[in-house]
């Protein structure tokens, strides 16, 4: 591949540029709960990368662990596809076997991303998932809410992560 072509393919796609602040590795702690379970704390590392495919896609993965023992907890990975009109579609596969397709919006002005599930597949209890990611003073904050067969949309996870 000549130099010009190589530079072109490793550049950030214009559709991804408004979300380029996400790219990299984030690490921090979170708190989980739900009306039907005991609350818990967890460690988390989250990674966003932009494969040099020239496609408008961000690859996403996260892993979590118990704070006392380091034992792995939930993990998930997927793809985020931002569009130039400020909308976003996301697919995520979870270590529990659950699969999510989410749609939403991002705001380049205040760096808030709001996602809501269009599809939740292979889930015994979960009916809906919403995710909000927000940059606050350089930290990445998120809140995940779930609705189940017994409960309306309620917070399950919230975390604050710093860029490594
Ligand atoms: C419990 C879903 C992410 C840790 C649950 C329950 C559901 C659920 C449906 C059971 C609630 C009930 O029994 O009424 C999800 C979904 C997730 C997610 C859809 C992602 C979108 C996570 C993550 C962690 C986690 C990232 C760990 C950091 C737990 C724990 C419980 C739980 C510890 C309690 C288990 C128990 O007491 O039996 N989750 N979860 N979950 N989740 Fe999640």
The answer to whether the CB of 127 is under 6 A from ligand 1 is no
pLDDT value at position 54? Answer: 85
pLDDT digits (tens, 9 = 90+) for 35-68: 999 999 999 999 999 988 889 999 999 999 999 9
Q: Which residues of the chain have pLDDT under 50?
A: 1, 3-9
pLDDT value at position 52? Answer: 81
The answer to whether the CB of 66 is under 6 A from ligand 1 is no
Half-sphere exposure of 7 (CA within 13 A, CB side): 3
Which helix (H) or strand (E) element contains residue 7?
Answer: helix 3-10
pLDDT value at position 31? Answer: 98
Give the residue from 141, 128, 135, 133 showing the smallest Cα distance to 110.
135
The answer to whether the CB of 98 is under 6 A from ligand 1 is yes
Token pair 């408004």 in the structure block, residue: 18
Question: What's the chain's average pLDDT?
Answer: 94
pTM (two decimals): 0.94
The answer to whether the beta carbons of residues 42 and 27 sit under 8 Å apart is no
ipTM value of the model? Answer: 0.97
pLDDT value at position 10? Answer: 64
Distances (CA, A) of 124 to 148, 150, 152: 9, 11, 15
Distance 110 CA to ligand 1 centre (A): 29
The answer to whether the CB of 37 is under 6 A from ligand 1 is yes
pLDDT value at position 11? Answer: 86
């Amino acid at each position: 591949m000549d130099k010009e072509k190589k530079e072109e393919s490793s550049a950030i796609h214009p559709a991804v540029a408004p979300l380029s602040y996400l790219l990299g590795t984030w690490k921090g702690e979170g708190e989980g709960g739900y009306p039907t379970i005991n609350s818990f704390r967890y460690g988390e590392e989250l990674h966003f990368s932009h494969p040099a495919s020239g496609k408008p896609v961000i690859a996403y993965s996260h892993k979590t662990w118990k704070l006392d023992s380091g034992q792995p907890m939930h993990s998930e990975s997927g793809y985020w596809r931002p569009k130039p009109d400020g909308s976003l579609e996301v697919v995520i596969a979870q270590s529990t076997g659950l699969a999510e397709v989410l749609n939403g919006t991002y705001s380049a002005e205040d760096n808030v991303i709001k996602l809501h599930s269009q599809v939740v597949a292979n889930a015994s209890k979960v009916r809906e998932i919403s995710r909000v990611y927000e940059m606050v003073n350089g930290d990445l904050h998120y809140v995940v809410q779930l609705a189940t067969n017994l409960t309306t949309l309620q917070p399950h996870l919230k975390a604050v992560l710093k860029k490594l």
